[in-house]
Amino acid sequence: MSAAHQQVTHDLLRPLFHTTWRFFLLVAVFGTIVVFGLSAWATQAYNGFGVTGITWPVFWGSYVTSFVFWIGISHAGTLISAILRLVDAGWRRPVTRCAEAITAFALMIGAMFPIIHLGRLWLAFWLAPYPNDRFLWPNFRSPLVWDFFAINTYLAGSVLFLFLPMIPDFATVRDRSTGFRRRVYGLLALGWRGSPKQWHRLETAMSIMAVAIIPVAVSVHTIVSFDFSMAPVPMWQSTIFGPYFVAGAIFSGIAGLIIAMEAIRRFLHLQAYLLPIHFDNLGKLLLLMALLWGYFVFNERLVTYYGNQPSEMAVFWRTQRESFAPLYWTMVTGNFVLPLILLGIRRFRTIGGCVIASLGVVMGMWLERFLIIVPSLGHKYLPYSHGSYEPRPIEFVVAGSTFAAMTLLYVIFAKLVPIISIWELKAGASGEAGHS
C-alpha cells in the first residue's frame, strides 16, 4: 500500500481510535442542552399545550416552522450526494458522507416535530395510517398522510443510502481493532471482504439508490409544501410552492452542509481532505440557489401583488412593511444579500465567507418558514379568524435544543464512523493514478 493510502486510513480512523477531551466536552455541552430541551418538552406534555404561545387562530407556530426547516436541511445530503454520484463529480468524495449524515439526522429531528406538536404525544401512533376497530381508515387525500409516506420513504432511503457505502469502511475498522469494538464493527461490516463481485454490486446498488432517491427527495419537500398550498389560506394557495419549497430546502441544506464541513475540518483536523476547492464549489452552488430563491420570492410576491386580493394583500403588507417587516427584511438579507456579496465576489468566497453566508442562510430559511406560516394563519379570509402569535420561552428551548441534538448526533457519528469515506477517497486517488 502506498504511503499516501496509509496516511488516508490513519487520518480518517484517528477520531475513532483516539478520544480527546474535546469530544467529551462537546458531548457534555450539547447533551446538557438536549436534556434541557427534553425536560421542556416533558413540561409541555405534563402541563398541556397552553404553556406555548400556539393558540387560535395560529395553530401552526414555531414547531411547524422547525418541522419544515429540518426537513429542508435534510435535503443537503442525500440529494446533493446522489446528484454528484450520478454525474461522477470527483470532488464529491470527501463530501458525500458528511452530507448524507446530515440528511439522516435532520430527518429524524424533523420527523419528531409533528409529535412535539401534539398535545397528547402518547397518541402519536395515530399519525400512522391504519384502520380503527370500525375499519375506518384515515383520509388518504390529506397532505398530512402524504407526509407520513413521503418522509418515511425518504428516511428509509436516506439511512440505507448512508449505510451501504459505510460497509467497506466498517470492515476496515473491524480489521484494525480488537475485542468488543472488533465484534461490533464485524457485525456492522456484514462479512465484507472486498471481492470484485461485492464492489460491483455495491456500486450498482448505489447507482440505483441515487436514481431513486433524487425524485423522492424532490417529492418530500413538494409534499411538505402541499401541507400549505392545499389549504384555503391567503398566500398559501400557490402553484409555485412546490418548486419554491424544494429550492429553499436544497438552499438551506447546502448551507447546513458547509457549516458542518467546516466544523468537522477544524475539530477533526481534516484540513488535508476538506479543501478550499470543496467550499468554493459548494459556495458556488449556494450562490446559485440564492439566486433561484430570490427568483421564486420575486415571482410569488409579484403575482400576489398583481392579484391584489384584499386578504392576500393584507398578509403581503404585514410582511413587507408592518409587524413582520423586520423579520422579513432580515430574511432577505440572510438569504439573498449576504450570499450575493460573500459568494458572488470571488475575493470573499473563502472558507470563512462561505460559512458566514451559510449561517445567514440557515437563519434566513428558518425565518422564511416562520413568515410563510404565521402571518397567513393570523390573517385569514374572515375577520373572526384574525389574531396574533408570539412564541413562548418553552418553544424557543425546544426548537433551540434540536440544533444541539443535531450537533450531538453528528459529534457521536463522527466518533463512531469515518466521517469521510475511506474507500471512496482511495478509489478516487487510485483511479486518477490508474487512468493517467
CA gap 310, 305 in Å, rounded: 10
Those residues whose C-beta lies under 8 Å from the C-beta of residue 311, and which sit 6 or more positions away, are 234, 379, 380, 381
CB nearer another protein, residue 146 or residue 403? 146
- 215 contributes a contact to another protein by CB under 8 A: yes
Binding mask 79-118 for another protein (x = CB under 8 A): ----------------------------------------
Query: Least CB distance from residue 121 to another protein, whole Å?
Result: 25
Residue 347 makes contact with another protein by CB under 8 A: no
Answer for the pair 211, 252: CB distance below 8 angstroms, yes or no.
Answer: no
39-66 b/e with 16+ CB inside 10 Å = b? ebbeebbeeeeebbbbeeebebbbbbbb
By CB under 8 A, name the one of 50, 307, 393, 431 that touches another protein. Answer: 431
Q: Is 239 in the site for another protein (CB under 8 A)?
A: no
The span from the CA of 380 to the CA of 181, in Å, is 58
> Is residue 144 a contact point for another protein (CB under 8 A)?
no
Report the Cα 135 to chain-centroid distance in Å.
37
Pull the grid cell for residue 104.
439522516
Among 123, 208, 302, 345, binds another protein (CB under 8 A): 208
CB of 389 to another protein, least distance (A): 28
Please give the torsion angle defined by the CA atoms of residues 256, 85, 436 and 7, in that order, rounded to the nearest 10 degrees: 50
Please choose, out of 64-72, 104-112, 134-142, 393-401, the segment that lies near another protein by the rule CB under 8 A.
134-142
Nearer to another protein, 64 or 155 (CB): 155
CB of 434 to another protein, least distance (A): 4
Q: Which of 15, 157, 364, 375 binds another protein (CB under 8 A)?
A: 157
DSSP codes of every residue in 361-394: HHHHHHHHHHHHHHHHHTB-SSGGGB------HH
Cα–Cα distance, 259 to 420 (Å, whole number): 16
Which residues 6+ apart lie within 8 Å of 201 measured at CB? none
Where does this chain touch another protein (CB under 8 A) — which range of 32-40, 189-197, 315-323, 327-335? Answer: 189-197
Residues 6+ apart with CB under 8 A from 61: 52, 53, 54, 373, 374, 389, 391, 395
Distances (CA, A) of 428 to 32, 109, 275, 424: 40, 33, 15, 6
According to CB under 8 A, which one of 67, 70, 105, 146 is a site residue for another protein? 146
Give the contact letters, 367-406, x = binds to another protein (CB under 8 A), - = no: ----------------------------------------
Q: Are 63 and 117 in contact (CB under 8 A)?
A: yes
Residue 365 interacts with another protein (CB under 8 A): yes or no: no
User: With contacts defined by CB under 8 A, how many residues of the chain interact with another protein?
Assistant: 63
Least gap, CB of 225 to another protein (angstroms): 12
Helix axes 325-332, 351-377, angle to 10 degrees: 150
Which residue number, 198 or 333, has a Cβ lying nearer to another protein?
198
| Residues engaged in binding another protein (CB under 8 A) | 1-2, 5-6, 9, 129, 131, 134-141, 145-146, 149-150, 153, 156-157, 160, 164, 167-168, 171-172, 174-176, 190-205, 208-209, 212-213, 215-216, 219, 223, 423-424, 426-427, 430-431, 434-435
